[in-house]
Amino acid sequence: PFNLQRGGAIWVSFSYTCKRPGLADDAVREKLLNRFNVAVGGLSTTNTRGFPQFPASRLVDAETAGRFEEVAREYIALAVENQN
């Protein structure tokens, strides 16, 4: 569900996960996108079928990292939901 790029950016891979049952609804992805945006202080795009990204260096701050982890855990759970 995430990619770490050579330049130090973390991408939220909505493009790869948007067809999974738990993330098929645009409203669900939009809610997650908004939560990621708040958690890390801004993303590169608002495209819920794309690859919003942010600098990994933002996760140095413990509070930011904690907020990111909380949203990331929910995102991962939805991405693997009903994947048998």
pLDDT (tens digit, 9 = 90+) per residue, 11-51?
Answer: 999 999 999 999 999 999 999 999 999 999 999 999 999 99
- d(Cα 25, Cα 19) in Å, to the nearest integer? 9
Q: What is the dihedral of CA 45, 48, 53, 58, to 10 degrees?
A: 100
- d(Cα 17, Cα 7) in Å, to the nearest integer? 23
pLDDT of residue 81: 84
Query: Is the pLDDT confidence value at 84 over 70?
Result: no
β strands within the chain, DSSP E: 2-4, 9-12, 53-55
The model's pTM is 0.92
pLDDT of residue 83: 66
